[in-house]
Chains A and B, each alone.
Chain A
Amino acid sequence: MRRIHLSDPAWQTTFPFLVEPRENEWLTGLLLHCDEVNHWSSGTTLTHILRMNEQAARSNLSLIVPSGVRLDSLAQVLAVPMHPLLATTYQEELARIYDLSNPSALLLNTSFSFQVCPVCVEEQRILLRSLTLQHITCCPQHQVALVDTCQCGVSLRPFSRPALPFTCYKCGLSWAKLPRHEAVPERLELEQTLLSSYDFFFTKGTPELLASALRLIYDSVVEKGEIRVPLRDEAVQFLTDRSMPQRTSSLGYVVHALLQLDLSPRDILMYAGSLPWRSVRWTTFQCPAPNCPYVKMLRDRIHELDDPGKDKA
């Protein structure tokens, strides 16, 4: 919590009322929260930041990564360091996983649609970063279904002047008053698995680990001979040729495929690095012989998951 006194030159370069990123907050929610505490219409902060860098506001910004939004400009007007702002996007995680300095949002989610948790909005005026993850349809905190359409029938839009922040741009209904449907337990369980996979990649992901996951997925498909049925709410989206290559390597695709094939982060770690021969059977390999070198090799690969404390130390 920073306090800026009137004598501080930062007074003149900051917004009248300040907000700072909260834990797991998504950049879109932070911008709306800033609009709200300053009594501005939805999108005023975003438009100002874009204008600072002579860019026109775009209505289709996903903000999964900053994608044209200069976070340093936002850091200046909010008087917050850069790192907490970066943490409101998946920029750092995607950059590490894909070894790209400016990763595309499509590397995370190829079928992004804006959705909110009405309870999060009502209780904390927050949009969680996990709302942007592909295949996530329930709020992990409140176990309610995420909502992407207003009661008046229009799709929710994050920014739309002159609507108020956190309201429907068409009818003005507060997102906090959107219907709350309790999530189906089976669905919640399934999404918990997806979130664990996402978390695994966000914390440990590297290009090598991603390659291992893709190799494992490929071998599983080949060896098992089939892909299980898709997630039931999955509306398969056919993308343009230009973005097609990104789909099969996007994280959303990878974690979905891992779920379909019953593969876990432990399996990915076992599959990382060289193996005596390629086969998904290594993920279930057991050997009765004491001091089996293969068992030791596999155990060494997954020790980080078994003892995360040791890894941190």
Chain B
Amino acid sequence: MTRSLREDDLPPFTVHSYFLETAFERRFQGLLLHAWQSRTWHVIAAIPGSGKTLGIQDIVLQCASYKQTPALTKLPVLAIRAPKNGGKDLALGMAFCAAFGIVPSMAWYVRRSWLVQALADAHVECIVIDDAQDLNLAHLAFLKELTDNLAAPPYLRQVGLCLVSAHSGNVLPLKEIFSRPDTLWRQFRRRLDTERPFCVVQGHTEEEVRDILATFEAMYRSQLPHLQLERWTKPIFIWLTHPALDPDGTKRVTMDHLTRLVTSALRQSYEQRATDMDGSVLQATAELMILRRDEIVEISGVPATPSLSVQEVG
């Protein structure tokens, strides 16, 4: 390990939170773009920590949504998060309204029809609902009503729909609901894409992890000048596909785990004034994530320096 000769205090380690167009994101965003362009409906699942939310945010920011006077608002991809704690159709309606900005209070029956007009006027072409596993039957029924009204005269607008959910094991959220014999769910099922109605987007393979590590190298080389991360690809892949972190045995790595491991090890190495990743630190961090992830850390004593400035009063 190379040691630096710096004697002065180190500036704090800076974690870069850029959106990385990883292999997962290319797969995931590819599906969203397909739904947008072809106006198709999909249930898209990936395990927690894959980067679904960041991928949705990136698409929304890239799709040129704007408000302009007079009265020209474009929101081609309308992305919301499913309401938590259940709730009725109103909760989902309010989430849609919030995506437009400030909407004055109005009766729910008025808001229902207002939403259809607003979606049509704002040129909404694709609806993306994150955390769709939290949608309940009332929400789904309202979603169908909303999209059906948009597709009917006078609007005649077909919209794409992506219900993005977190999943684990072999259970795909919503699949069971759409398989029910009730007319509503049969109608919903019929609207799903023919070829890819239910999709599971996989995490990263070892080769894909290598590409990401190469990107991390470039990002953090300004803080650790001799950084060589790619050489740690194999052990990192093995650690992050350990059953503790990959309970479904996918043999794929999530971006969340990879980022946590690398940035934590890089920060510790940097604070030890290293100029490259310290292998022992990397291993210790991986062990902490795998073997001692539920370990309770006791916080005692007093920090050396107060973290907040204190002003005496009186």
A residues engaging B (CB < 8 A)?
Answer: 1-7, 11-20, 37-41, 44-45, 47-48, 51, 77, 79-80, 162
Residue among A3, A19, A77 having the largest count of chain B Cβ atoms under 10 Å: A3
Decide if B103 is an interface residue (CB 8 Å cutoff). yes
Considering only CB atoms, which chain B residue lies closest to A45 in the complex?
A: B104
> Which B residues, 59 to 98, have Cβ-Cβ distances below 8 Å to chain A?
60-61, 64-73, 75
Q: Contact partner of A15 among B64, B102, B110, B114, CB < 8 A?
A: B102
Contacts of B114 in A (CB 8 A): 39-40
Task: Please tell me if the beta carbons of A2 and B68 are within 8 angstroms of each other in the complex.
Answer: yes
> What residues on A are CB-neighbors of B122 within 8 Å?
16-17
Contact B73 A39 (CB under 8 A): no
A5, closest chain B residue (CB): B66
- A13 — which chain B residues lie within 8 A by C-beta? 101-102
* Complex A-B: 16 CB contacts under 8 Å: A2-B69, A3-B67, A14-B67, A15-B102, A15-B103, A16-B67, A17-B67, A17-B122, A18-B73, A19-B69, A38-B118, A39-B118, A40-B104, A40-B114, A47-B104, A48-B102
Q: Is the CB–CB distance between A18 and B68 below 8 Å?
A: yes
> Which residues of B have CB within 8 Å of A16?
67, 73, 100-103, 118, 122
Q: Could you say which of A13, A17, A77 has the most chain B C-beta atoms within 10 Å of its C-beta?
A: A17
8 interchain residue pairs of minimum CB distance = A37-B71, A16-B100, A48-B104, A6-B65, A4-B67, A20-B69, A3-B68, A17-B71
- Shortest CB–CB separation between residue B213 and chain A, in angstroms? 29
Name the B residues within 8 Å of A41 (CB-CB).
110
Select A77's contact among B69, B71, B75, B102, beta carbons within 8 Å: B102
Once A13-B102, A39-B114, A39-B117 are accepted as A-B contacts, the answer to whether A18 and B69 lie under 8 Å apart by CB is yes
Q: Is the CB of A19 within 8 A of B71?
A: yes
Write the nearest CB–CB distance from A89 to chain B, whole angstroms.
20
CA distance A79 to B102 in the complex (A): 12
Instruction: Give Cα A113 to B24, complex, Å.
Output: 65
> A6-B75, A18-B68 given. 14 additional CB < 8 A pairs?
A3-B66, A12-B101, A14-B102, A15-B102, A16-B122, A17-B71, A17-B72, A19-B71, A37-B71, A39-B114, A39-B121, A77-B102, A79-B67, A162-B110
CA distance A237 to B29 in the complex (A): 69
Contact A14 B69 (CB under 8 A): no
- The one of A6, A40, A44, A47 in contact with B60, judged by C-beta atoms closer than 8 angstroms, is A6
Which residues of chain A come closer than 8 Å to B297, judged between CB atoms? none
CB within 8 A of B70: which of A19, A47, A51?
A19
Complex Cα–Cα for A51 and B104 (A): 10
Selected contact of A17 from candidates B60, B61, B73, B105, CB within 8 Å:
B73
For the complex, give the distance between the alpha carbons of A44 and B106 in Å: 9
Q: How far apart are the CA atoms of A267 and B17 in the complex, in Å?
A: 72
CB nearest neighbor in A for B104: A48
In the complex the two chains form, is B69's CB within 8 Å of A40's CB?
Answer: no
Number of A-B contacts defined by CB within 8 Å: 81
- Output the nearest chain B residue to A49 by Cβ-Cβ distance: B104
CA distance A135 to B106 in the complex (A): 38
List A contacts of B117 (CB < 8 A): 39
Q: How far is the CA of A19 from the CA of B72 in the complex (A)?
A: 9
Chain A residues positioned under 8 Å from B61 (CB to CB):
6-7
Closest chain A CB from B115 CB (angstroms): 10
**Complex interface: chain B residues within 8 A of A51 (CB):** 104-105
Determine the chain B residues whose CB is within 8 A of the CB of A2 once the complex forms.
68-69
What residues of chain B lie closer than 8 Å to A20, measured between beta carbons?
69-70
Q: Find out whether the CB atom of B118 lies under 8 angstroms from the CB atom of A5.
A: no
Chain A CB within 10 A, most for which of B66, B69, B114: B69
Please name all residues of chain B whose beta carbon is closer than 8 Å to the beta carbon of A5 when the two chains form the complex: 64-66
Using Cβ atoms and an 8 Å threshold, which residues of chain A touch B67? 3-4, 11, 14, 16-18, 79
Give complex CA distance A18, B106 in Å: 19
Task: Write the chain B residue with the least CB distance to A44.
Answer: B104
Distance in Å: Cβ of B170 to nearest Cβ of chain A: 36
Residue on B nearest A1 in the bound complex, by CB = B69
Give the distance to chain B from A49, nearest Cβ to Cβ, in Å: 9
CB-CB under 8 A from B73, the residues of chain A are 16-18
Bound-state CA distance A46–B201 (Å) is: 48
Q: Report the nearest B residue to A11, measured CB to CB.
A: B101
A19 to B67, CA, bound (A): 10
Which chain B residues lie closer than 8 Å to A162 at the CB level?
Answer: 110
Residue of A nearest to B64 (CB): A5
A79 to B69, CA, bound (A): 10
Nearest CB on A from B32, distance (A): 16
Residues B98-155 near A (CB distance < 8 A): 100-106, 110, 114, 117-118, 121-122
Shortest Cβ distance from B101 into A: residue:
A14
For A1, list chain B residues within 8 Å (CB): 68-69
Q: How far is the CB of B301 from chain A (nearest CB, A)?
A: 41
Contact pattern, B 43-71, Cβ under 8 Å of A = 1, otherwise 0: 00000000000000000110011111111
Task: List which B198-224 residues lie within 8 A (CB) of chain A.
Answer: none
B46 CB to closest chain A CB (Å) equals: 24
A5 to B64, CA, bound (A): 7
Docked Cα-Cα span, A6 to B72, in Å, equals 13
- Among B71, B105, B106, B121, the one with the most A-chain Cβ atoms within 10 Å of its Cβ is B71
CB-defined contacts of B71 to chain A, threshold 8 Å: 17-19, 37
Distance (whole angstroms) from the CB of B111 to the closest CB of chain A: 10
Contact A15 B101 (CB under 8 A): yes
- The residue of chain A having its C-beta at the shortest distance from the C-beta of B122 within the complex is A16
Counting chain A CB atoms within 10 Å of each CB, the highest count among B66, B72, B117 belongs to: B66
Cα distance, A23 to B114, chains bound together (Å): 29
Nearest CB of chain A from residue B15's CB, rounded to whole Å:
21
A306 to B185, CA, bound (A): 79
Q: In the assembled complex, how far is the CB of residue A281 from the closest CB belonging to chain B, in whole angstroms?
A: 54
